[in-house]
Structure 1
Amino acid sequence: MSDSKFLRGTLIVTLGTFLVKFLGMIYVFPFHALVGTEGGTLYTYGYIPYTIFLSIATAGVPLAVSKFVSKYNALGDYKTSRRMFRSGMVMMIVTGVLSFLVLYMTAPLFAEAMLGKQSVHSNIGEVTTIIRLVSFALIVVPAASLIRGYFQGHQSMGPTTVSQIIEQIIRIVFLLAGSFIVIKVLGGTVATAVGVATFAAFVSAVGALGVLIWYWLKRKKHLDQYLIEQTVPESTVSTVQLFKELFAYAIPYVVIGLTIPLYQQIDTLTFNSIMQAIGQGDIAERALGIFTMWTHKLIMIPVSLATAFSLTLVPAITKSFTEKQYRYLKLQITQTFQANMFLTLPAVVGISSLAYPIYTAFYDADPLGGQVLMWYAPVALLFALFTVTAAILQGINQQKHAIIALIMGVILKFVCNVIFIRYFGTVGAILATAVGFLASVWYTNQQIKKYAHYSFGVVYKRTFQIAVLTFVMVVVVKLSQWILSFMISPDGRVGALITVAICAGLGGLVYGLLAIRTGVLERVFGGEALEKIQRKLGNRFKIKLKSKGA
């Protein structure tokens, strides 16, 4: 696959995923206005078990199918790819229904485990209903995800992107409209509104599945042509053996899908009780909602960029690895790390530096919310790095090390949670998350270095350059914020929004111009990216290409 096709596919998924996350960020503002901070906690109680069960239901198969199809297509064996797709679809339907039934029936157990006997505001009946309503999505999502994986294996990113955008739009409209009707029209409770909001996952999944089926019907004739023109013999390996190979690919995808939900599940199981023990039980649920729902939504926006890169990375790296194109493999790894750092580092540092006005602009003026966002935003860089490094390990057939990294991180998270929350309160849970992910990223980097014979020298050098640009950006942002504080009060939502818009805009502009002037942008994305920028801006910045430099 050419550089341009690799980058084009990456760009399509990156922009699509960013748009999905952006829409996910926008809806949070009116949703918070409807259900409040505690409503976010209820939402989290329902969604975390659902996410864990979704990872189990899919078992990593959709993305593993992406890798499987990419591999066999590279060998010219399209019939084996199609055979696995059909078998995988049957499996996704069965596991989806079974997971729905299990989660629906065990919802009371999950509710009791999360709430315990502590004097928190929510009750077990409310949380049980919320979990049961979101569980219906398990019937549909696995099948939709498998179709996306099949298209991605064919290097076709459009169906994934379009279906995700449509799914997000349907979910947001249903979620907000349903919550509004329950609270404002029917005079219902926040718990009922949150239940309707979680049921939106099922409604939107049905919409996404419809889009994917339409794409399948539209492109089936073209895909069938590959089967007709196939010249290599179809693999004689049995379906059972194919599934063994598929699950060898799939398990690490479960790891990626489970990582953040497992960390959050540890928080929901330990946070309330420890906060009660240290005398902060009165703010426990509010703090948990801020940490696991409201600030998490904001910091996951830059992480989505890394996730998008990892989605296209796996089939591309698998192809290079299968074809023994090791030089290109190393270039892809370097390009992915550089792009990840270039996009994610300034984003998370910028969010942290503007944490208080950002939280006020989206939700309300809350010192605790601003404090949590300030500490939590930098941890998003570790989320992004783990996503990418785990994907690289899958691409070079070292899946087991992603699992080891997850286990290591989860154990550290649990141990550190028990200790850190007692001493640092809500911030302690954030620090525990950082320690767990830092250990996982360190381990995955060591394995990439070992098994891909990869040197991080260029990545370290580029990261230092990006860090310098980010530092200058932060200086501009904080200086702008200080000047604006004399003219605009950041305590109100409008003032905070103006502050964020101006400071973030100036910071982004400075970062972008410095990246162009210093040649960092070109070294990360290549000269072609700068040529496009130059054409768009009419040679205003007189960019001089230095693509051969380090």
Structure 2
Amino acid sequence: MSSKLIRGTFILTLGTFISKFLGLFYVIPFDDLLKGHEEGASLYQYGYVPYTIFLTVATAGVPLAVSKFVSKYNAIGEYAVGRKLFKSGLVLMTLTGVVSFLIMYAFAPIFAEMTIKSDEQVISVAQVTTVIRAVSFALIIIPFMSLIRGFFQGHQSMGPTAVSQVIEQIVRIVFLLGGIYVVLNIMEGTVTTAISVATFAAFVGGLASLGALIWYWFKRKPHLDELLEEDRGNEEISLKAMYKEIIAYSIPFIFVGLANPLFQLVDQITFNTAMADIGNAKVSDHAFAVLNFYTHKLVIIPVSLATAFSMTLIPLITTSYTSGDRKTMRRNIDQTFQILLFLTVPAALGLALLAEPMYTLFYHSDPLGTSILRSYAPVAILFALFAVTAAILQGIDEQKFTIFSLLVGLFLKLVLNIPLIRLFETQGAVLATTIGYVVAILINLYVIKKYARYQFRLILRRTMFIGALNAAMAVVVLVLYSILVRFLSPETGFQSILLVAICGGVGALVYFYLSLRSKLADRLFGDKISKIRSKLRIG
């Protein structure tokens, strides 16, 4: 794997993981602050799902599309083209953000009515409307910010994106938790007001992130100006042609970014209907929160790596594809698949095996939460594979198939969701998501095989081997867990910490040892791992 891919992936992975972990751990005090207001988590998620969809459309896949565009023209020495796009794009993204905000704010009541299906539900249409309007303000600033991130990524500079993500998350969480505490405990306000303040925190975090990116811009501008002086000047591209190319890139990015939110939206508009049909309207809001908020926060963590890989992959694959270096392109794809599976499979498996203490550790003891997390955790592998296969399709200019695969998967989710929820309740929604993603990924893999002429023989062998290592790890964890639960209860917070720390730590050590012993880690990560193995005298 190229040093740029390793370095860029490491920086983005670190930033994304920190951001995701912060986004996970804040739920612990969030859940504690809402004790006595159980509807708060559902209300928060009801507002955030439509916001995420609007945000994805408003940014129009800008970070990845711009990074692809800039890296393409940088590869041929046309640095001025990317700078021209950057200047005009700032104005366009500002307009896009304002228009998206106005639409979301105005249509909030309609979105709320699509969500709340029964008078027996705990949450009302008016409450959801208020929360949606509060979070819509973030749309004003995020698109503008996303363009700057994409420009830096196009220059294969991942630091600004990583740092700004972390700053955004920290400021958002501090404002969110502080706002809920002040509203509920000092002002003695309603849970609707508290959650509205919590969602407005997205706007405040966006401001902080923008400040960090502006600082990076002034710091990096001298270097960027030096590149401009080396511009060949052979390409004269009009704004019309430029945006035509960007739109061609952006549309697939929009769909990729919308994948997870759209699957969640299907749940949001069908889940309550299906639950009401089988007489579960009173518990529908709680079950939805468990599915789309609490367990989803945990499941999405292993997907962080895929997000980092997809953002790093696209400029490099685009560069090698544009220059005709198919060997380098296939090598990067090969390494990415292997490392992705090597890291995400044990993370998802461990989450499933330790579902009960994990759920208790982060939230509270809940049989429904444990059950959903156990079945939902493996879906993280599918989320990661879809993100990376879609990124590869972008890099080889076959992005139209990304749209097709997602639409097919989403169609299956929409068709199957209500019948499966009626049959299996909340588990039915997990099953429908699994089926939709599996089909979408299979389509992407077929297209990669056909158009990149990529052979999956090595990946299949490595997947089976990684599966064997995980099976060995799982046996050790299950045996250890069955012994420890005789003395420790997964229903209490502190004892859950011990169970997760001991079983998770031993499982990680077993997996690490087996990967070193088999020299699989050496093949994936290179000489540094070989040195570690030699020092530990393994193998």
The interval holding the TM-score normalised by the smaller chain is: over 0.9
Number of the residue aligned with 2:418: 418
1:354-365 mapped onto 2 (5 Å cutoff): 354-365=354-365
TM-score, normalised to structure 1, is 0.96
1:167-186 mapped onto 2 (5 Å cutoff): 167-186=168-187
**Change over 3 Å in CA distance of 1:348–1:35 after alignment to 2:** same
Q: Following the alignment from structure 1 to structure 2, what is the Cα–Cα distance between the partners of residues 458 and 183?
A: 56
Q: Following the alignment from structure 2 to structure 1, what is the Cα–Cα distance between the partners of residues 513 and 191?
A: 46
Shift of 1:266: 0.6
Q: Following the alignment from structure 1 to structure 2, what is the Cα–Cα distance between the partners of residues 185 and 237?
A: 58
Q: Following the alignment from structure 1 to structure 2, what is the Cα–Cα distance between the partners of residues 241 and 229?
A: 23
Shift of 1:74: 0.3
SS at match of 1:487: coil
Shift of 1:118: 4.0
Q: Following the alignment from structure 1 to structure 2, what is the Cα–Cα distance between the partners of residues 4 and 204?
A: 32
Number of the residue aligned with 1:16: 15
Number of the residue aligned with 2:116: 115
Is 1:189 matched up with 2:190? yes
Shift of 1:411: 0.3
Contact between 2:390 and 2:444, CA under 8 Å: does it hold in 1? yes
Is 1:441 matched up with 2:436? no
Number of the residue aligned with 2:537: 542
Amino acid at match of 1:20: S
Greater alpha carbon shift after TM alignment, 184-193 vs 504-513: 184-193
Contact between 1:390 and 1:402, CA under 8 Å: does it hold in 2? yes
Number of the residue aligned with 1:468: 468
Contact between 2:81 and 2:237, CA under 8 Å: does it hold in 1? no
Q: Following the alignment from structure 1 to structure 2, what is the Cα–Cα distance between the partners of residues 481 and 248?
A: 51
Q: Which runs of 4+ in 1 moved over 6 A?
A: none
Shift of 1:116: 2.9
Contact between 1:118 and 1:273, CA under 8 Å: does it hold in 2? no
Q: Following the alignment from structure 1 to structure 2, what is the Cα–Cα distance between the partners of residues 468 and 68?
A: 41
Is 1:205 matched up with 2:206? yes
Number of the residue aligned with 1:399: 399
**Change over 3 Å in CA distance of 1:410–1:506 after alignment to 2:** same
Is 1:517 matched up with 2:498? no
Q: Following the alignment from structure 1 to structure 2, what is the Cα–Cα distance between the partners of residues 229 and 385?
A: 39
Amino acid at match of 2:71: S
Shift of 1:543: 4.8
Number of the residue aligned with 2:242: 242
Amino acid at match of 1:38: E
Q: Following the alignment from structure 1 to structure 2, what is the Cα–Cα distance between the partners of residues 392 and 289?
A: 33
Amino acid at match of 2:285: E
Contact between 1:61 and 1:247, CA under 8 Å: does it hold in 2? no
SS at match of 2:34: helix
Shift of 1:54: 0.7
Is 1:276 matched up with 2:271? no
SS at match of 2:229: helix
Matched pairs, number: 537
Greater alpha carbon shift after TM alignment, 381-390 vs 249-258: 249-258
Amino acid at match of 1:175: L
Number of the residue aligned with 1:146: 147
Shift of 1:237: 2.3
Q: Following the alignment from structure 2 to structure 1, what is the Cα–Cα distance between the partners of residues 39 and 513?
A: 42
Runs of 5+ in structure 2 lacking a partner?
Answer: none
Runs of 5+ in structure 1 lacking a partner?
Answer: 545-550
TM-score, normalised to structure 2, is 0.98
Contact between 1:79 and 1:234, CA under 8 Å: does it hold in 2? no
Contact between 2:122 and 2:282, CA under 8 Å: does it hold in 1? no
Q: Following the alignment from structure 2 to structure 1, what is the Cα–Cα distance between the partners of residues 138 and 450?
A: 40
1:9-88 mapped onto 2 (5 Å cutoff): 9-36=8-35, 37-88=38-89
1:119-518 mapped onto 2 (5 Å cutoff): 119-230=120-231, 232-518=232-518
Q: Following the alignment from structure 2 to structure 1, what is the Cα–Cα distance between the partners of residues 447 and 81?
A: 31
Q: Following the alignment from structure 1 to structure 2, what is the Cα–Cα distance between the partners of residues 6 and 387?
A: 17
Greater alpha carbon shift after TM alignment, 384-393 vs 492-501: 492-501
Shift of 1:542: 2.0
Number of the residue aligned with 2:91: 90
1:120-158 CA-partner distances (Å, limit 9, x unpaired):
111111111110110000011111111011000001011
1:280-299 CA-partner distances (Å, limit 9, x unpaired):
22211100000000000001
Shift of 1:415: 0.7
SS at match of 1:496: helix
Q: Following the alignment from structure 2 to structure 1, what is the Cα–Cα distance between the partners of residues 475 and 118?
A: 48
Q: Following the alignment from structure 1 to structure 2, what is the Cα–Cα distance between the partners of residues 370 and 470?
A: 21
Contact between 2:171 and 2:204, CA under 8 Å: does it hold in 1? yes
Q: Following the alignment from structure 1 to structure 2, what is the Cα–Cα distance between the partners of residues 354 and 370?
A: 9
Amino acid at match of 1:24: G
**Identity level (%):** 52
Q: Following the alignment from structure 1 to structure 2, what is the Cα–Cα distance between the partners of residues 187 and 503?
A: 42
Contact between 2:118 and 2:276, CA under 8 Å: does it hold in 1? no
Q: Following the alignment from structure 2 to structure 1, what is the Cα–Cα distance between the partners of residues 380 and 89?
A: 33
